[in-house]
């Protein structure tokens, strides 16, 4: 193994993104749920793909994007997620390893193909995601290498995985191993519809199992079934040790029992494609957190990473985040 300890070990759905830019009419014509992640079956994927404009392929997957971001800052990251031994599986593995992330899992020699997410980006830079989970959805406890997970300071899990029983069991195993090893457990709520599907379990997790929770405003409000953001923020402060709530152009707020810290957003230019923005915010925050920075500074790493991500098509950094961070003046507090 490349290093003995990891700043963060991520567990998630391993996915290759298929990204096309479309007009808003495409979203309505195909009855897509704008801005959300919708699960689709293989048949629907074939039909939707056939109707899409020419696309590009880029490795994605929420937690994998986050690990790539951490590595881009210079952090030590490892990943657990399942791809098939097929062309897209090889693309996924290559891109993650080339980003500097430890990813030792063997490509599965049988089963459904590697997961694809058909992403439509509208002129407002919003992304609408349609995921055909393929083999990623067959992640199971045996796929979770206990030694790897125990080597992480933080174990970071996707809420998306809660959609499938075996994957949920895999995450629970990872969380248990992490706790036993004295690691922190982090969870992203992933998507408002995902929160809707699993609210009771997510509440349990946030109250009892999770040390660091990531959510955007809509997701945290959905978790507590309120339209009052302040109410949602107040409640999450009593639960997780640290909560990071992202607010798009308004930046983020980092909350603990004692503090509420507002962090400004940062952009590198026009916003082109918001795919991966939340994943990269988490990357920056976790890089700062695991390298001992204060919470404001950790949030600022998140702002830089998210700002780079939304300046181009594709969910992972296209330049060194460590170099970018060194170039951007620190914000006034």
- Cα–Cα nearest to 306, from 244, 236, 220, 233: 244
**Quick one: which of 4, 41, 54, 110 contacts a second copy (CB under 8 A)?**
54
Per rule CB under 8 A, count of chain residues that contact a second copy: 27
DSSP string over 159-224: GGGGGSHHHHHHHHHHHHHHHHTT-EEEEE---HHHHHHTHHHHHHHHHHT-SEEEEEHHHHHHHT
Min dist. Cβ of residue 71 to a second copy (A):
10
Q: What angle do CA 108, 113, 117 make, to 5 degrees?
A: 125
Min dist. Cβ of residue 88 to a second copy (A):
5
* Residues 187/172, Cβ–Cβ less than 8 Å: no
Q: Does 2 bind a second copy (CB under 8 A)?
A: no
Nearer to a second copy, 59 or 303 (CB): 59
Annotate each residue in 313-332 with x if it binds a second copy (CB under 8 A) or - if it does not, as one string.
-x-x-x--------------
SS3 category, 84: strand
Min dist. Cβ of residue 118 to a second copy (A):
11
Q: Does 36 bind a second copy (CB under 8 A)?
A: no
**Quick one: which of 27, 38, 57, 231 contacts a second copy (CB under 8 A)?**
57
Q: Does 121 bind a second copy (CB under 8 A)?
A: no
Nearer to a second copy, 99 or 186 (CB): 99
* Residues 37/138, Cβ–Cβ less than 8 Å: no
DSSP classification of residue 136:
G
Nearer to a second copy, 56 or 260 (CB): 56
- Cα–Cα nearest to 152, from 302, 3, 301: 3
What is the C-alpha to C-alpha distance for residues 293 and 6, in angstroms, rounded to an integer? 17
**Quick one: which of 49, 226, 239, 248 contacts a second copy (CB under 8 A)?**
49
Q: Does 94 bind a second copy (CB under 8 A)?
A: yes
Reading the block at residue 292, the tokens are 């001992």
* Residues 103/14, Cβ–Cβ less than 8 Å: no
Annotate each residue in 269-308 with x if it binds a second copy (CB under 8 A) or - if it does not, as one string.
----------------------------------------
3-state helix, strand, coil in the chain (%, to 5): 45, 20, 35
Min dist. Cβ of residue 100 to a second copy (A):
9
**Quick one: which of 1, 23, 87, 106 contacts a second copy (CB under 8 A)?**
87
DSSP string over 248-301: GGG-EEEE-SS-EEEE----SSS----TTHHHHHHHHHHHHHHTT--HHHHHHH
Min dist. Cβ of residue 132 to a second copy (A):
12
Min dist. Cβ of residue 95 to a second copy (A):
4
Reading the block at residue 286, the tokens are 């976790």
Name 5's Cβ contacts closer than 8 Å, sequence gap at least 6.
76, 151, 152, 153
Min dist. Cβ of residue 96 to a second copy (A):
8
Q: Does 34 bind a second copy (CB under 8 A)?
A: no
**Quick one: which of 10, 81, 113, 299 contacts a second copy (CB under 8 A)?**
113
**Quick one: which of 98, 106, 250, 257 contacts a second copy (CB under 8 A)?**
98
Q: Does 168 bind a second copy (CB under 8 A)?
A: no
Instruction: Give the binding site for a second copy (CB under 8 A).
Output: 18, 21, 49-50, 52-59, 68, 86-88, 91, 94-96, 98-99, 113-114, 314, 316, 318
């Amino acid at each position: 193994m490349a290093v003995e300890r990891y700043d963060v070990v991520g567990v998630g759905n391993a996915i290759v993104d298929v990204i096309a830019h479309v007009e808003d009419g495409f979203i309505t014509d195909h009855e897509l749920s704008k801005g959300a992640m919708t699960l689709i079956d293989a048949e629907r994927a074939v039909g939707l793909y056939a109707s899409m404009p020419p696309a590009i392929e880029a490795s994605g997957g929420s937690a994998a994007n986050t690990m790539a971001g951490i590595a881009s800052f210079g952090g030590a990251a490892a990943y657990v997620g399942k791809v098939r031994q097929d062309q897209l599986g090889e693309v996924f593995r290559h891109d993650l390893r080339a980003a500097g992330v430890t990813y030792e899992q063997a490509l599965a020699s049988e089963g459904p193909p590697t997961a694809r997410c058909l992403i439509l980006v509208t002129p407002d830079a919003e992304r609408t995601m349609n995921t055909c989970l393929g083999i990623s959805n067959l992640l199971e406890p045996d796929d979770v290498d206990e030694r790897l997970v125990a080597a992480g300071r933080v174990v970071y899990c996707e809420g998306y995985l809660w959609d499938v029983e075996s994957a949920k069991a895999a995450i629970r195993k990872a969380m248990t191993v992490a706790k036993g090893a004295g690691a922190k457990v982090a969870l992203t709520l992933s998507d408002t519809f995902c929160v809707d599907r699993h609210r009771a379990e997510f509440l349990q997790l946030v109250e009892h199992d999770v040390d660091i929770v990531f959510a955007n405003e809509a997701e945290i409000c959905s978790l507590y079934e309120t339209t009052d953001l302040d109410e949602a923020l107040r409640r999450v402060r009593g639960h997780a040790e640290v909560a990071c709530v992202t607010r798009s152009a308004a930046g983020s707020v980092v909350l603990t029992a004692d503090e509420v810290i507002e962090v400004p957003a940062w952009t590198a230019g026009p916003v082109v494609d918001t795919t991966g923005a939340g994943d990269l915010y988490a990357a920056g925050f976790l890089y700062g957190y695991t390298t001992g920075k204060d919470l404001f500074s950790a949030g600022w790493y998140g702002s830089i990473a998210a700002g780079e991500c939304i300046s181009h098509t594709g969910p992972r950094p296209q330049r060194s985040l460590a170099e970018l961070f060194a170039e951007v003046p620190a914000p006034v507090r």
